[in-house]
Structure 1
């Protein structure tokens, strides 16, 4: 039953990868915490590690099937990508000694603050009032390290920071969500490498879980089984969604994720 539920959630992560730039982290973490609840305090660490692997595959595949003209908007972002990766490695290392409850409540608090920021501060739901007159601006490279560190620590891909930032820089929701995938890949790759080399979880063997480092391989496989076909289809035939409706749906999804994380506690 867990496998079936995870495949179903994988379908959802495929949709969120294409429509919102979420490579799976914000959706995958709560459900893996639920599926691995028998691991006790280690469930959150396993969930963030598993989420990182899922995001590598989802974001990598989504980037590979993205039209090259869209990806040209990231031209000259080499320093940003390197700093995202460096920050992600540090964030993933910081997760190891961190108490599970700290990571869980940091996740919830971060999502809540993000929702408040998107609703209250101009530039996301109402981008027209502050859109740059000379076209979209690039993201500052110095944002890379903190975004990467926070994203890897919480087991998310950073899209919840990069999508609003790119939207406020003048991109439409569709373009901002699409560009979030290669940025997520830069974060998830080093985070996954650290997670695969993580110390074993003693409770995993008692519960019959198959872990590689801190990664729940079965959960990751189920999530990817559901996600990859959806990404392939939606990249070829993206749904037509109004820009403001798209932005509102993004905020609504964050609210659903926050509630799900609270319920898994």
Structure 2
């Protein structure tokens, strides 16, 4: 138990770093970490992935909220890109969370890996992510992007417990925002996904829920992750904005590759 707590505490610190620098909110780190800890503890197999996704969503509520507040205080958030996009993301997130409770654990893990693979390929093969010319007036979001795109982001992100930064960061990037601002926007846009997902997973009936669990949410694992992430977020918010734009975008893709490899491990 102590080893598991220490492992999750360490991954919590890593989550804090990725939350501030990349807007991940925790999903790409916490889902594989919690899944691995549950498997090592010989928890019931069918529910391990669902528990990992649910716990990730709960942790993301706090992490993304704390990071969004810090980014707002530093003036990196643009209201025109947040609303009403956040409302449509919330609608999609509620549906995605419910759908995820009906999918088998193995299928959910493969979808998570496929989601990462598509994102990596898109960022590398399409222009506008690795290098982008800074624009004084970035392009606005179209109505279709806000409505259907927002619901799609919420649906996929909530189902996989990964927030939505993997879609919102490239979206903002291709509208002409520098990487520091694109990742900053991902934090508040991850909050509605995390809230909707947490409520659905916490209220979902499970066959293995016991002490320390609220529905599919593992409260002990969540506490360990937050104990590592919150202090790290407080420190890392002083660093964001100092990383060169090209280095920042390349590091984003490299981290996705690492997480994809971890997710595919048996």
> What is the TM-score with the length of structure 2 in the denominator?
0.92
Do 1:14 and 1:227's aligned partners in 2 also have CA atoms closer than 8 Å? yes
> 1: distance between equivalents of 2:241 and 2:77?
22
Do 2:71 and 2:77's aligned partners in 1 also have CA atoms closer than 8 Å? no
Does residue 36 of structure 2 align to residue 34 of structure 1? yes
1:47 pairs, out of 32, 39, 52, with: 52
> 1: distance between equivalents of 2:81 and 2:241?
30
Alpha-carbon displacement from aligned partner over 1:69-127 (angstroms, at most 9, x marks no partner): 63551237432111101100000000111111111101101101110111111010122
Do 1:201 and 1:214's aligned partners in 2 also have CA atoms closer than 8 Å? no
CA RMSD across the alignment = 1.7
Do 1:137 and 1:170's aligned partners in 2 also have CA atoms closer than 8 Å? no
> 1: distance between equivalents of 2:153 and 2:264?
23
> 1: distance between equivalents of 2:261 and 2:177?
29
2:146 pairs, out of 138, 141, 148, with: 141
> 1: distance between equivalents of 2:151 and 2:19?
22
Aligned to 2:104: 99
Distance apart, 1:63 and its partner CA: 1.2
1:253 pairs, out of 252, 255, 260, with: 255
> 2: distance between equivalents of 1:23 and 1:133?
28
Report SS of the residue matched to 2:204: coil
Instruction: Give the gaps of 5 or more residues in structure 2.
Output: none
2:220 pairs, out of 218, 221, 229, with: 218
1:186 pairs, out of 164, 180, 192, with: 192
Query: Residues 76, 20 of structure 1: CA spacing in aligned structure 2 closer, same or farther, 3 A cutoff?
Result: closer
1:155 pairs, out of 149, 154, 161, with: 161
> 2: distance between equivalents of 1:190 and 1:183?
12
Report SS of the residue matched to 2:78: helix
> 2: distance between equivalents of 1:106 and 1:125?
25
Distance apart, 1:238 and its partner CA: 3.1
> What is the TM-score with the length of structure 1 in the denominator?
0.92
Does residue 128 of structure 2 align to residue 123 of structure 1? yes
Does residue 157 of structure 2 align to residue 170 of structure 1? no
Aligned to 1:232: 234
> 2: distance between equivalents of 1:253 and 1:152?
20
Instruction: Give the gaps of 5 or more residues in structure 1.
Output: none
> 1: distance between equivalents of 2:174 and 2:218?
36
> 2: distance between equivalents of 1:58 and 1:179?
14
